Chain A
Amino acid sequence: MDNRIALIGVLVSFGLVAGFWWKARTGRAKLVRSGELVDLSKLKATKGGKPVQNFGKVATLVQFSTEVCSICVATARLFRDLEKTTPGLKHIEVDITDRMDLAAHFSIMQTPTTLILDKHGMVKARIGGAPRPNVVTEELKKLEQK
């Protein structure tokens, strides 16, 4: 067989493996074992024009977005709906377009990146990319059991 066809086959397979690997990883919650306590004053997050000063009574979703991110908008909508239907849940969106200090501090390489915090503001889990359905609800169940 023509070696060139084999080479193209290798490249296509590589693309497929890389693509499926990414698909399998994105939107999943990753547990953060020794999470840090998030400092709300450093985030400088606002909600409805006012600075956010308290965490959610059960959990807080901190969503990092940029202005060049399209899936961030859909993610924020999903979280806002969840916030309405879940008592004790608070959603905070932080635009990091001009906050590279935050991107570096939380090692954010993609947006949206979402941190799930417990009631004390401790980072418990992290979701890279657009969250899969039910991922957040399942993580919240874990937090409520504690």
Chain B
Amino acid sequence: MTPKQLDPRGPRFGAGITSILMILVIYFSLDPQTINLALGIMVFAVVMFTFGSLLGPAKHPYSYLYKYTLRKFLKAPTELEAPRPVHFAQVVGLIVTGTGLVLHLLAVPNALPIAAAAAFVAAFINAVFAYCLGCQMYLGLKRLGVIR
């Protein structure tokens, strides 16, 4: 069984959205007056990562957004990408942002901006350089026996 291959620009597009969301979280979370706005954006990001983790990258909401917007202006992809590492990267994103969200709700100070900063750097590098940090971790974690 070979899962459906992906247009690699789709996940990059999604990572671009995530980078912008994370910048907004950092900005709004550092002002007590707007921290709840930051919380709302973080909840949205966590929900998106949950979709990605459960449904896989091909059925991610951002993937549909990409398909019906940016994709129309681009040529056909020259290479396709295997979905498994990208799917795994979604789980990594969920763990990072989800941990930040939970710690914030447990009143740990600065949990939101710290988690958002980590997620931002990974998403930004993915969007700009097509380097998927979460995907790279796949082989490393597999070697350590953390995942099968």
CB contacts under 8 Å to A, within B113-148, are: 117, 120-121, 124-125, 128-129, 131, 136, 138-140, 142-143, 145
Query: Using an 8 Å CB-CB cutoff, how does the interface string of A54-95 with B read, 1 for contact, 0 for none?
Result: 000000000000111111011000000000000000000000
B82 engages A68 (CB within 8 Å): yes
Chain B residues with CB under 8 Å of A12's CB are 124
How many chain B residues touch A (Cβ–Cβ < 8 Å)? 28
Which stretch, B23-31, B42-50, B67-75, touches the partner chain A?
B23-31
- Count of chain A residues with a beta carbon within 8 Å of a chain B beta carbon: 30
| Residues in B neighbouring A1, C-beta threshold 8 A | none
Residue of B nearest to A107 (CB): B143
Which B positions have Cβ atoms within 8 angstroms of A? 5, 8, 23, 26-27, 30-31, 79-82, 84-85, 117, 120-121, 124-125, 128-129, 131, 136, 138-140, 142-143, 145
Which B residue's beta carbon lies closest to that of A22?
Answer: B131
Assess whether A103 is in contact with B26, with CB atoms less than 8 Å apart: no
For residue B114, give the distance in angstroms from its CB to the closest CB of chain A. Answer: 11
Residues of A within 8 A of B27 (CB): 4-5, 8
> CB distance B81 to A110 under 8 Å?
no
Residue of A nearest to B83 (CB): A68
Q: Kindly provide the distance from the CB of A11 to the nearest chain B CB, expressed in whole angstroms.
A: 6
Q: Which residues of A contact B31 (CB under 8 A)?
A: 4
The answer to whether residues A70 and B80 also contact, given A11-B120, A100-B143, A104-B143 and a CB cut-off of 8 A, is: yes
